[in-house]
Structure 1
Amino acid sequence: MGLILEEISKTSIKLLLNEPFYGHFFTGIVKEVSDRVNTAAVGMVNPQMVKLMVNPEFWESLEKPEHRYGLIKHEVLHIVLKHLTKQKEFSHKYLYNIAADLVVNQYINEEQLPEGGITLQRFWYIEEKYNIKLKPNQDVGYYYHKLKKLIDKNTITSANECNSEEGNLEGKPSPIMLDDLLKDDHPELEKHKFWKSVEELSDAEQKIMERYVNDIIKQTVNRIKYKGKGIGHLPLGLQEYLNELLESLKPNLDWRRVLRLFAASSSRTFLKTTIQRPSKRYGTTPGIKVKRKQKLLVAIDTSGSVSIPELQDFFSEIYHIWRQGAEIYIVECDTHIHQQYLYRGKPPEIISGRGGTAFDEPILFANEQYNPDAIIYFTDGFAAAPSIKSRCSILWLISSQGLKEDDSSWVTLPGRKVKMATR
């Protein structure tokens, strides 16, 4: 087992040297040598961790180093293109698996693919027999719906029928038949059986998993940019996908400025006597001057869907508000308030919570006990809207990988909502 893991590491080093994007991304994935799979597969450890599982006998059967190289690229691409979480949108799972392999194998050199791989070239007979052209460089939905038409018409050519036409095979790769691929025990698709566990996750857990993948993608792109590589060496289709993904994760406005302005405007004034500034109207001392004091209740979502890096981002922003002179009282909450304390410039050593999410408790606390000038709620937004109306203004700071602006739940949150950007 240890020897195979060492060989996998050597292959990942080759990826780092030759194709840094895949190599750096692969470093963020758990590796496991296991008999639970017949070949190799990506599966889930938990919603915040994905792993590559490799059967030891299968790995040894790949005698050519380039086939091992291509295998890792294949599995990395399934994760990068989010094929594990997108499957919920498609009803015919076997057909979806075929479409997913058609997508990723186009990004892998032919000599890196082991014999028997599902490639676009091996579906040449579909255009000739059914006049259905499968264009290259399309997404998984395109290939799924094209092949679904054949299944719905019940006109799938059998392998014997296609092979009997000897003239058709000259100069063409051996056809891979759709009816064979749809069988339960086909080895090329058996490796996708672990995707089922992802589909069984709740919507919130699937969003956590997407956030995890987005984080690895962003870290990978930033790392190779820092090293002067960038993604320019990747195929154009993959470049466009990554650029669109990274652009979609950017906020639409300067959320830090919004946060500062909100905190500054949510303040009360009071008079303070001073001997350093005489009253200009009456010429007496001590004089008076107007002081502003912000009294803010900061609610921090400590539910299980909020990651440690997100919590660190929350406390970083809280520190900057505190430096401006605000009085900040923090409540840590998931479905209930677990800790409450006056913030003095340092985050707590232990965060309490990590359960589900409900927004009512901090608002109730503000209304009945603390009476702040405003509430700032740091959260990923994955919960039902509060049922309690706040007596003061609320600013919702939604984490970078949290609820999206086009989600129907976004508009149900009362008050101002701002999406945080990734650092």
Structure 2
Amino acid sequence: MKPEELLKKAVLNLGKKSPFYYYVLLGMKIVPSKSIRNLKISFSTTGDVMLLYNPEALEKKHVRMVEALLLHEVMHVIFQHFRIKPKDERDRKIWDLAMDAAINQYIPELAAFGVPLDVLVKEGHSVDNDTLFVLPPEWMMFENAETYHRWILDEMERLGRYDVEVVSEFREGVDDHSGLFEEDFPVEMILELTKDRTKKAFNIFGDSLPSGVKREIQLLLENPELDWKTLIRRFFGISIKADRYTTPLRPNRRYDHLPGWRNEYLSRVAVVIDTSGSIVEKELNQFVSELERLAGILKEEIWLVQVDRNVTSVVRYRSGDWRDLEIVGGGSTDLQPAVDYSEKVLRAEGTIVFTDGHTDVPFARRRILFVLSRFHNEDFQKEARRMYGKDAVVVLS
């Protein structure tokens, strides 16, 4: 069978199995290219998603494997992996493993040839065969790429070794993520275009997806509305030192021939989420979506406090933790216990409160920011602005 016919058959077969992925795939431009190894996602300067394929490589594969590889590439786009920005080449190779682990667990044809991340890290090298599809550790199924990336880094530090270069060499013929990490493509334009098509597909065919994929897409489709970078800068007047690094842009006061030091500052913040009975599921999803964006901006653990009439849960929250987040509450509403806990126990510089405002405005001794849901109490909004100023309240649409 000719490569073009094989690819066409694989696309049609994928459509029969999963209309959702087929609909997303139809929004991509499929382009032959002998310069790539196998299949590769790339983007044009106008925001078009292009699926490149090597005809000679596909010609040697069974149609079911081509279907699986197509699905793998589509899921890179659906999971928005093009938004990941590795720090350096070594970090890029770690992200390669993390992204594939997040995807391959949902594709049986690839999982059949898979090797769990913990085996790779424990042995410190790849397997002996020439095709390596990475899977998550058995006790960490259905997580996202960010979670697996963090786990790999933690495990590398614990073991004091891990030859990511060797693993990368064994994977050279498997997948090519370089197109996801290009610096010059319009990320925001691509994000809007792909989210729009994914949302349409999800509204029609979303119920047929595996629960893990469905939940992942639900959160990714939630549009964080707030510019947290601006809000945090405006919210905090004083920040704590988080990191210190050299920079040639600042002269060294002691040694002229050496670069100077620059301190990076982050804010110590606690987030309170109102989980009382008046909060509906859509509001909670929106709160968690904004929390996830905030965690990504701060790039540090955040104290997360849940409250109804009392504090019901206090945990450290990091980007990606929403998958294991258990919502505790459902009773009447009193925000004061949570604000007191944030200031007196956690000693946070400031507290961000997600609520619908169907309660009294709490008293805060330090900085406080109220993020109100669309179905908020207007009286709460007016009183909070009177007590703490106009900039102390933002409303989600």
TM-score, structure 2 normalization: 0.48
TM-score, structure 1 normalization: 0.45
